[in-house]
Structure 1
């Protein structure tokens, strides 16, 4: 259930924020809100404007990614709140940006950060990747502990 709640929440927050930016803020207009700098840009490539003009291709990649995660979630080894949270953020972000790429041929970015201009879906993907790294590290230690215990009992 956590996976679905996070996926839907990320998707809705991302789409609402992009709608508000597209509707109320002109392209390249800058403003500060709550101490955070924003500007409205439209990106028809991928992260940082790489590969401009391939937005729809990256939209298809997002669909394939969601299918891959759906397959991985069926794996009995990948269960628990941490991996569900990771996948929820990753899939919600992928769907949010994928919808923009497939419908509009570009993604609305607006949060200025060192390294570029991002949106909520991008931040959700970053959170999901961080949680996935933590999950992998914990799983590695857990498996290592199980192997050490088995060696001691043999």
Structure 2
């Protein structure tokens, strides 16, 4: 249940935030929301603007990733709240950015960080990776004893 809860929450929050940014903020416009600097950009590539123009290809990769996770969840033996949460964040982020890539040919980014300008789906993917690493370490420690 956690898997679906996190995936759906991420997709809804990501798509809603991107819709609001696209509807009310001009491209390259910077503003501050509660002390957080935001800039609306559209990225037709991947992280850090690499491979511009390949958004739809990355959208297809996101679909394949989601199919792989569903297959893994049905056939894999990894169970529990931590792995379900991790995969929920990863799938939610992949679907959130995949929707943009397949529908618009680009991803709406707006959250300024030292590593660039991101969106909620990107942050969800980062959370999912961190939880996956924690799951791996915990599993390793359990199997070591």
TM-score, normalised to structure 1, is 0.92
Aligned counterparts of 1:110 and 1:78: Cα–Cα separation in 2: 35
SS of corresponding position for 2:6: helix
Q: Deviations over 1:12-34 (max 9, x none)?
A: 00000000000000000001111
Q: Deviations over 1:87-133 (max 9, x none)?
A: 00000000000010000000000000001000000000000000000
Compare CA radii of gyration and give the structure with the larger one. Answer: 1
SS of corresponding position for 1:53: coil
1:141 aligns with 2:144: no
Shift of residue 76, structure 1, vs aligned partner: 4.7
SS of corresponding position for 2:144: helix
Aligned counterparts of 1:110 and 1:81: Cα–Cα separation in 2: 30
Structure 2 gap ranges (5+): none
Aligned counterparts of 1:76 and 1:44: Cα–Cα separation in 2: 34
Aligned counterparts of 2:34 and 2:59: Cα–Cα separation in 1: 32
Partner of 2:121: 121
Partner of 1:28: 28
TM-score, normalised to structure 2, is 0.98
Two-structure CA RMSD over aligned residues (Å): 0.7
Shift of residue 75, structure 1, vs aligned partner: 3.6
Deviating beyond 3 angstroms after TM superposition, the runs of 4 or more aligned structure 1 residues are none
Partner of 1:10: 10
Aligned counterparts of 1:76 and 1:91: Cα–Cα separation in 2: 16
Partner of 1:81: 81
Structure 1 gap ranges (5+): 146-154
